[in-house]
Structure 1
C-alpha cells in the first residue's frame, strides 16, 4: 500500500545525519523506509533512517519537468532494498560519511550490507544502516569517463558472509580501512570482533577499540 505524503510533488528540504547542508528537490515518491527526490538534474534516494527533518523548501517551488525514473518500474511500495537491487550494475554516487561521495557500482546486496565497487577504493563493504543517499547516473555514464576496459565491473574478490558482523569476522587478521580512512586510527590490522567491540591495531601497533554499530564501511586496500 502506498501512502500519499502531504508534501508529495512539492519542493522540500531534507536534513540528514552527518550532512551540514540540506538536500533540496521535489519529493517524488515515499516508501516505508525511503524517500525519492529530484533536484532538477538527478534523482536522490534517501533512506529514512537518517532523516532528521523534512520541510517545504525555503527557496520556493521552482518549475522543472521530472524525467523518467532511472530504474525499472518497482511494484508498490518502493523500498530501500528494492532500490539497491535495481541499482546493481548502474553507475551511481553514494554518500556515507564526511565530505566525500563514492562513485561506482552496487554489485551485491546481502542481509544488512551491500558491496560497492569503486575505481578509487575498489571493493567496499557498506552497512545498510549508514548509507545517507544514492544517486543513479545516466545508463551511458561511467565513473571518471573510464572505458569498460579501464574499469571493468568485477565480482567481489571477497568471500561474502550474510551479515555485516560475519563479514568483519572473515577479515580478522587482514589489513583493513574502516570508514574510508577518515580517521588514521581506523586503518590497521583487524585483530578481533568481540560482540559489539572491534579491535584494530593502528600504525604504531597500539590497539584501538571501536563500537561495531559505528563502523560504516570496510575495505581491503
Structure 2
C-alpha cells in the first residue's frame, strides 16, 4: 500500500474486473479497501477488491485538465464510509455488463446495500461486486428530473443483515438477477439454500447458481 501511495497525484490507468477498457484518471487518494481517481470531471471510487492492474498511463486523455481539484485526504477512508457518505446523493454505479445504473443509495447492510433507481426501482447490490461508484454534483438529479418526480424513499421490503438471508426472504417471488444481463437469470426464485439458489426460468426449467455470483437482485 505504501508503494501505491507514491503514485498519488499521477495519471494512472487501471484494469478493473468486468471491464474490457481501462479506467484512467488522476490518482487522488487510497484507503484501507478503496481508491479514488479523478477523470477530469468527476471522482471515481474503486474498491481495491476489483483492481487487477494499475500502472502509470503513457498519455493523458486529450483535453482533460486537473487544475483546481479540491480534495481533503482522509485518514479513515473506507468503502463503507464512502457508501455512507453517498446516501441520498445522486450516484452512478458500475457493477456488471456494459451499462451503469443511476440513482441513490438508501440502505446499507452487512454485505449488501439498497440502491433506488428510476429504471430498476429498488436494487439489492452485493458489496463485493461493486466495481466503482461516481457521485454526481449535489444539485444533479436522475435524467434531470424534478426531484418530486423521483422522491428518494426507504425500501418497503423488510431487509435482512446479509445478502443470503435477504434471498431467503425473497423465495417464491419473481426476481431479476445481475440486472437481467442473461435471460436465464430472470424468473421465480424457488429456493435460496446457501450456497446455491434455484430460479425457475421462463420455460419452466430450473437454473442453479452459487450465491457468490449474485451481483444484484431486484423485483421488476
- TM-score, length of structure 2 as denominator length: 0.95
Post-superposition shift, 1:64?
A: 2.0
The one-character-per-residue Cα deviations of 1:27-70 (angstroms, maximum 9, x if unpaired) are 0000110000001001000000000001001214975225334x
By how many angstroms is 1:145 displaced? 0.7
CA distance in 2, matches of 1:24, 1:66: 18
Superposed structure 1 runs of 4+ greater than 6 Å apart: none
Q: CA deviation at 1:74?
A: 7.7
SS at match of 1:129: helix
- Partner secondary structure for residue 166 of structure 2: helix
Question: How large is the RMSD of aligned CA atoms in angstroms?
Answer: 1.8
Aligned residue in 1 for 2:51: 51
Distance 1:63 1:74 in 2: 20
> In the alignment, what sits opposite 2:28?
28
**TM-score, normalization: structure 1?**
0.94
- Cα offsets for 1:84-109 (capped at 9, x unmatched): 00000000000000001000000011
Aligned position for 1:64: 66
- Once residues 186 and 19 of structure 2 are traced to their aligned partners in structure 1, the CA distance between those partners, rounded to angstroms, is 23
SS in 2 for 1:85: helix
Whose helix proportion is higher, 1 or 2?
2
Residues 38 and 66 in structure 1, CA contact (< 8 A), matched pair in contact too: no
Partner of 2:8: 8
Which ranges in structure 2 are unaligned for 5 or more consecutive residues? none
Question: How many equivalent residue pairs?
Answer: 218
Q: Which residue of the partner structure matches residue 214 of structure 1?
A: 213
CA contact 1:74–1:82 (8 Å) conserved in 2: no
Name the SS of the counterpart of 1:97 in structure 2.
Answer: coil
Deviations along 1:121-151, one digit per CA (max 9) or x if unpaired, are 0000000000000000000000001111111
Number of the residue aligned with 1:116? 115
1:41 is matched with which residue? Answer: 41
- The CA deviation at 1:77 is 2.2
Contact preservation (8 Å) 2:26, 2:37: yes
